[in-house]
Chain A
């Protein structure tokens, strides 16, 4: 209980107290507080438990780098797990809970694990939980692992708004460098977007203060914001720029209190990264105890929230920056000792006891800091503020492909110019110090003339600090993942010398903070124990997001009906009126069955009725791609396995489209409507890709002025009538005799009731079928007419479930279901074109590779079995000998017309096995099935013409 609130000072409103709870206890803060500052002011030290050993952990930092104070927060009824207390604005009634602790962070029953730490080194899990098998251990370990808890009943509102924007110049970070860059660019008339993660612009100036251009920094910041907005730019606070992507795309998460957050996709012409730097910890024994904090954070809380981190404070460092911290705390009334590892130091701030050339070796205490050892001396302190140097925030630079170099003078990895499409300025570029930041920002913004002048111009001197191999006790390198210096040494000893392997073996740099405070120390430690330089050791890969972004922000409004958009049939309302039940088939919402009751039974009844009388179904989703022009025949020929140029106008032919690898990509009928006009009918789910394949071939292989491709799928409504009563039904609907008299695989373009009608005698059921298409606006009229005529022939509407039965009875394939990623046309029994066509066509060459010629390729066959339908996906296995997969069931149904199960399967050398029995292995049980031809119903095709 050491933090305390000053009676005055800070940017909080002491007239507006706000009550909140933490781990069930009631606290009070003020408007303007963050959850972290309010808890610090309350004297609460233990805010969480460490990931592995459940050690007590307290507040370390002041922003997104915070590794310890990870909190589940319920605010206004919405629970969000794993928030950083440093970034949560305090609100009245807010409920906060610590993570990874039971029941509370203060009294965590799993703290006993820390007593066993000697037996739980890095890699413990990998070595220990191999026997008897990982699956046995996994549930328990998963229950214990992780940080925050998701509440399954939690429904965050889908109110985050996606936004697209373009920025002439994007400046990331509104500290001194970012302000200088934005001001310089805006003065040159550029439209600048200035994006800042914090609630206000100014960066470290907000707590360090300073004079710029002879006035308080706030005047400079206000002038900059005004200049930016006057030039057509935008200043955004509370906005985290979380990802840099290809082609100048940046993603930003804007938090808006009381309104939905916004998720920005910003296309930037140029970018200046001025994201500052993060303070590193120092490495000494027990450097993870609550009460050990970043020195800069100490000043941050003091200046902005009027909170002192402790009463007896040790500031440990090896650079100039914490001197201001020590001075401010002393002025606030704390007893401050400053231990600087350097012999040559600045003067001690007033009221501060300065120890030159002094190093901290140990923090003492069990649950929080109670003392410290400095050069062997025991100091009675309650708080240790430390500064081990500065790590430039280069994440976005590296996400954009940038490389880093070690700047030995500043002891930091800094951006290598020209390796990423952005400029880096200020502390992010290793320029520590106000004037240096202003100079670099001004230059990056294209400023002419002198840069803004700061009152304090000196750059900060930094002495490199590293973990001490000789030190006793545990020196924590990664606070969030409980990785110590010994763990790094152990990993190196066990051969994990690559930094990427180190990360995965020890978990260093993983989880929600991604090692912001840990990575440099980890690299330096690995470099030291492997005898390499930091540069030789390298860094791990930087990937988005820079900071955790809530899923509701990324998902935006796309939930429920907006989640995954299936395409919709024009006649959907009419099908609903008929009692249709819906499913997503190939990206289209289509009727599965009609009416109430068991879906499987409905499908059986529909299929049987279609065989006995007639069935109607909506085929509007089938792709309709027109290929037009003098070069149409050649293009369609090239893109199809089956030659189409020999078709006469008014005729149709079934065929396949192959990929370049010879694999069946789609199947369908091609209709020749005129000498120079074809209609390619694609599967519902393949229309877009078929169009692209046609378009690619058109542009790359043919004279693109002689042939064109139009996808007109959405213009048409197509209804199909199938079954022995189909002819009678369409005549009853008033469709012309000439249509009813069409022969198989013929097509006619005619008119019906004054509207265009295209009729095709093609069949996906094996029965007499008519595919009737009218412009979508007339689809209702066609549907009404057909529906009115169906009673006379005893016809019914059938859904896709029934249609699947009908086509499977005939052995007609569904590409993607009855084929897989290696199925070639010869595997489906279509060998003719492969053997006879000598001209070039898409995929041809791949059909003659050794792989394509293998005798044991899986071929499409049918399966006969007794009893229930065979399970789809079950493997065919030999009935004798060693069990191995010969293939698998691709489609399986109970055939209502045959009264037995039917199935299609891809089976190794299936055609050679016709008549043989195989086992169908599923969930430990094997059933017998006989391999038969794929077509199990009307193999002679007698029903085709009614």
Chain B
């Protein structure tokens, strides 16, 4: 890149570029404090309710909304990897929710009977027996399996879109979601008797004996075990997407989002990085789907149609595509809005079907006036200090030296 050949041995070891590398530099401190505060509040809700005289602080509207929000936050964070970081519109994210939930409920339903392993769905001769995956902690393994399965589904779904323009991804994901939706309802009159796993339109209902066990208790929506499992997964999804975004892969994804051709020209392996994004997004979605299965207790594919994807997408768009905290705020805001619209306020009520009218208007207005969302992603370019500029210009053959050195003290990402 530069005219002078690079010296064989550097004259002096270069000082580290970012002496403050670590938490201080990479995480916005305010975010960290706010996040910790939110986490603390959420964790204390049940305790406070018990102190106020509620018998089981984990049962009730508020904790239930927290769990519901948590699951959808996980899903939205997963969707954000593809929509926000990579800039591809995924309209079939519900596929991962369905796959993860069905996988989880299927694994939990496996039963050891006298004749071998069997499961109760669509089987009138089911004899009953000992559940296979009821041992303490098995659910963690199942969630991991759901994630891996969905990562594979994400890869499979992504392959046909690698050779075509970005917006084909929207239609392939939508088509794939419809295929999954239709195939999940197949019964013995079709090619594959998928109802044997999904129980068709009725859905799988987890009976008491098939409930997963964690920390010595059966997981129900009103147990502290599930409450903190979901919180832990939300935190995990936050950390995962945050680190992905800040990593080399995240920067490659950002390059793909801004200009695929230019990214390729800069040496980014577009196909590989897109596949990574698909897999990560699928993994998170699968884990979210597994949590949904446990929380809801019933997995009916019939209710998980493509509007669920639109809802999650709405949350991501509203909060700010590519912004992790924005995604969380957006989906939380949308879910709370949905809950508020359910209520009758001062004699004014909203027809339940009109909620999607409001979501549609929100999408249009946000896209027109604030496409970056409520809490947009913080621009990753931190100003280059004079000392860093010195270091960077001494490093030959970096992209930096191709830029405009006179701009070194201005913001890099304009």
The answer to whether A and B come from one shared complex is: no
